[in-house]
Amino acid sequence: MAFTFIVMHSFMDKVASKASLSFAACGAIGLAIGSSFGLMGYCQVKFNPVVSFVTFLLLGLGVDDSFVLVQAYHYTSSRSRLQESLSFSHLLLFFGAFMALDAHREYLQVPWYWSMIGKGFLWPKMYSSEETPSKNNYITDQGHCRTQPETQLLKRLGRAYGEMLLHPLVSACVLVLFAGYIAVAVFGASKVGTGLDVRNLAASDSYWTIFVTERFRLFNDYGPLYLIAFPAAVIDVSKPGERTKLMGVAREIEQDSCFLQVPQGLWLRDFQAFVRTTGADETLLEGEAFYDSLSVWLAGTGKVYLKDIMVTFKEGKVVSIESFRMRFRQIPGTTTSGDKLGVPCMKQVRRILDQSYPPNKDIRPLTIDDRDVFVYWEGSAIIVEQTVLNLIYAAAACFVVTVFIIPHPILCFIAMIVVAMILVGTLASMSLISNMNIETISMIDLVLGIGFSIDNVAHYVHAFMSSQAMAYGEEGQLQRAASRKAKVAIDALERIGLPILAGDLSTMIALLALLGSKSRIFFSFFCILFAVLLLGCLHAIVLLPVVLGYFGPLITASHDEATPPAMSQLNVTVVSVDSNADGRGSGSLAEQGD
């Protein structure tokens, strides 16, 4: 907020630069944060550390859209009705707001709705208050705000930067650099790990981090103990065929490379050995005879397995088995997150069980462990699939909205390709720079990153499509298509480049407060969003001008098609020129055609 206030007030002329609109921007963001969190608390929506970064998200997004809204005000004619000015600005506001809702979380949806409502009420009032002073000698002949020396300087810098960027040699270097960036990004994205490291659940200086690290270093000779529970509805072990099938499943699990080849003590194997020592045929035991032998065994050497079998006794004898469990020891893990070995082994056990016992949501063998790590591995097992699906859904939603905002198929396609490039670069930064895995928190941040990416890209593409740059040179001659596209690209960069840069810088500054956080949640949010903003800004004001300036479609406004009249065809006569006391001149021109 402070950055927005300072930048918007850095111009000397407070009226022409619309500095007072910064109050509306800051006020809307503040109201959104307070109102939304209060409403969520009243509705008893649980607050947790994952959603605590929404304040920084709202601050960054609100400031970013504020720069674009002010720029939209500058390029809207004051001769138009106030409602038209507001509708054009609110269209951009809705576009930025929609892209931030891809995570579909209450703490993301409600605050941004409140931000939209706040700007919907505050900005019209500020617009109205700006109309009177703007119409009082602050309007050009074309109906736009009179620019100040500082603004002219920034426009000249933007135009000079655009002309330099679209120089053939510079453009070739840009394309080569981005080609190398894509190669490195694809390599880095392929190296991203998955899984939640339990050490990241606590602060970086917490004793929990030290405990997990030292336990993994000193007590990693054995992996976790798998406890597979079989309810009575799944299997009836009193039948010989079911026991044979169960022992086949147990042998397949023990012989798998994920598990130690040392028997961990299966009650059914020891019971069968006991029956053989009595001279009986275990394959003939069924029904009551099986339970009689089981009662004798549990009363003697099998007493140690009472914790593995839940039986029902009647008159001192076993009459039924409610459930039982089998134990298997995994080989030592290689990472604390379990993404390299733990998750694949858990999936392998599930696959073996599903082959013999078809999966049923209510009746199926249950797999747990003695270290309670499955609760994290369960999420890691589906995180890649869910991340891909969420990114696809978010990208599809962005594409649908982009089609309405930018009704040009080629430009929409280019915009989505650039968004994909930004996303791949962000994934590469996670593995090559931040050393982060894809887990629940980073998945939400990545989905949010699509909103930030399309925000930057769509702003420039929309400015390119709606550019009013003339298609004629200084001598009134129609320019070549290549020159016209370059001219439009420079004009779009001149008009929207600075708001994009200022919006991203303001959001980066807002995120700097998270850099020193001890929580991995905040650090993850900072790393991913900072990478998205940096890459999004570079793609929007470096790559897109080059791509659209050379390879983009030629979009010609209707007024550009008419040949401009030559000055020699007009007979211009100065009627009168008066000088006012304040030094401004006023006069009238009479035009007569031949």
Answer yes or no: is pLDDT of 367 > 80: yes
Look at the pTM and tell me if it is higher than 0.75: no
Instruction: Give the mean model confidence (pLDDT) for residues 493-497.
Output: 85
Q: Where are the beta strands (DSSP E) in 215-355?
A: 225-231, 309-314, 317-329
Q: Which amino acid is at 506?
A: S
Q: Which amino acid is at 26?
A: C
pLDDT at 102: 38
pLDDT at 356: 87
Max distance between CA atoms of the chain, in angstroms, equals: 128
Residues 6+ apart with CB under 8 A from 318: 291, 294, 295, 298, 311, 312
Judged by average pLDDT, the poorest of 54-63, 289-298, 570-579 is 570-579
List the chain domain ranges. 1-147, 148-192+382-556, 225-370
Length of the chain: 594
Binning pLDDT at 50, 70 and 90, where does residue 592 land? Answer: very low
Binning pLDDT at 50, 70 and 90, where does residue 142 land? Answer: low
Crossing angle of helices 82-99 and 106-135, in 10° steps, is 160
Three-state DSSP class for residue 405? helix
Higher pLDDT, 456 or 175: 175
- The position carrying tokens 């990478």 is 531
Higher pLDDT, 157 or 177: 177
The answer to whether the beta carbons of residues 293 and 353 sit under 8 Å apart is: no
Euclidean distance between CA atoms 292 and 286, whole angstroms: 10
pLDDT at 55: 62
Instruction: Give the mean model confidence (pLDDT) for residues 518-538.
Output: 89
Three-state DSSP class for residue 264? coil
Which fold, 148-192+382-556? Multidrug efflux transporter AcrB transmembrane fold (1.20.1640)
Question: Residue 477: phi, psi to the nearest 5?
Answer: -95, 140
Binning pLDDT at 50, 70 and 90, where does residue 577 land? Answer: very low
Q: Where are the beta strands (DSSP E) in 88-237?
A: 193-194, 225-231
Counting residues of the chain whose pLDDT is more than 90, the rounded percentage is: 16
Counting residues of the chain whose pLDDT is more than 70, the rounded percentage is: 66
Q: Which candidate, 453, 469, 481, 335, places its Cα nearest to that of 395?
A: 453
575 burial via Cβ count (<10 Å: 0-12, 13-18, 19+): exposed
Judged by average pLDDT, the poorest of 41-45, 345-349, 517-521 is 41-45
Answer yes or no: is pLDDT of 170 > 50: yes
Q: What is the DSSP letter of 540?
A: I
Answer yes or no: is pLDDT of 424 > 90: yes
Answer yes or no: is pLDDT of 110 > 60: no
- The position carrying tokens 């699906």 is 389
Beta bridge partners of 588: 576
Question: Residue 469: phi, psi to the nearest 5?
Answer: -60, 135
| Average pLDDT score over the chain | 75
Beta bridge partners of 313: 318
pLDDT at 562: 41
The answer to whether the beta carbons of residues 579 and 506 sit under 8 Å apart is: no
Answer yes or no: is pLDDT of 357 > 80: yes
